[in-house]
Amino acid sequence: MHLANQGVTINEIHRIYAPPESLRRDWAARSYHGSVEHNSRAVINRYLGYWDGNPATLIPLAPRESAPLFVEMMGGADAIVTRAEQLMDHGDYLLAVEILNKVVYGEPEHVAGRRLLADAFEQVGYQQESPSVRNSFLAAALELRSGIPSGEAPKSTGPDLVRALSTLQFLDYLASASIPLRWETPRS
C-alpha cells in the first residue's frame, strides 16, 4: 500500500514491487501457489479496486474491437511479427506478447502471428516459478498451436457426490453449479 499511496497503479505494481529479502529467502513465501505479480495486484484491487484512475481505462474496449486498429497503425500483422521476432531475439518476451496479442485478436487467422505468440507464451511460461502462472502461459501456447483440447469434460456430479454432501452443502452446490441440471418427475 505504500507504493499505491505514492501513485503506483494496479497495472504497474507487479513490475515495481519486490518482496523483502527475508521473504525471498523463505521457501514458504515463494510463488509456488500464486505469484508476487498476482498477489501485489490483488492487494491494490482489495483496497482501491481494479481501476487505475486513468479515465482512458474506465470503459475499455474489448481486444477484438481495438486490435484491428492497432494492427493497422503498426503497419500490419507481418510488420508486427517481424518486430516481435526481434524482441524475442533480445529476450523481451513480454513486449513480444503485448504486440502479438494484437495480431491474434486483430487477425485471428494470421498463422505466423499465432505461432510466434505461442512461442512467446512458452518462453514466459518457462521462466515462471508459480505453477499456476506457468501453466496459464503453456496452456495458451498449446491452444494457439492446436486449438482448444476436446474430449469429454470431467463429471462433477453423480450419486457419490450427492451422498457425500450435507443437505446445506448440496443446496449450495446447486446454487453455484455451472452445469444445467435436469429435473425429472418420477413416474408413478
Q: Decide: pTM greater than 0.85.
A: no
pLDDT at 114 over 60: yes
Phi, psi angles (nearest 5°) of residue 83:
-65, -40
Give the architecture-level CATH label for domain 2-57.
Alpha Horseshoe (1.25)
The percent of residues above 70 in pLDDT, for the chain, comes to: 91
Q: pLDDT band at residue 182, thresholds of 50, 70 and 90?
A: low
CATH superfamily, with its number, for domain 63-146: Alkyl sulfatase, dimerisation domain (1.25.40.880)
SS3 assignment for the chain: CHHHHCCCCCCCHHHHCCCCHHHHHCHHHCCCCCCHHHHHHHHHHHHHCCCCCCHHHCCCCCHHHHHHHHHHHCCCHHHHHHHHHHHHHCCCHHHHHHHHHHHHHHCCCCHHHHHHHHHHHHHHHHCCCCHHHHHHHHHHHHHHHHCCCCCCCCCCCCHHHHHHCCHHHHHHHHHHCCCCCCCCCCCC
Residue tagged 455451472 (cell numbers): 178
Average pLDDT over residues 21-27: 87
pLDDT at 185 over 70: no
Q: What are the residue ranges spanned by the domains of the chain?
A: 2-57, 63-146
* Average pLDDT of the chain to the nearest whole number: 89
Average pLDDT over residues 171-181: 71
pLDDT at 113 over 80: yes
Domains 2-57 and 63-146 belong to one CATH topology: yes
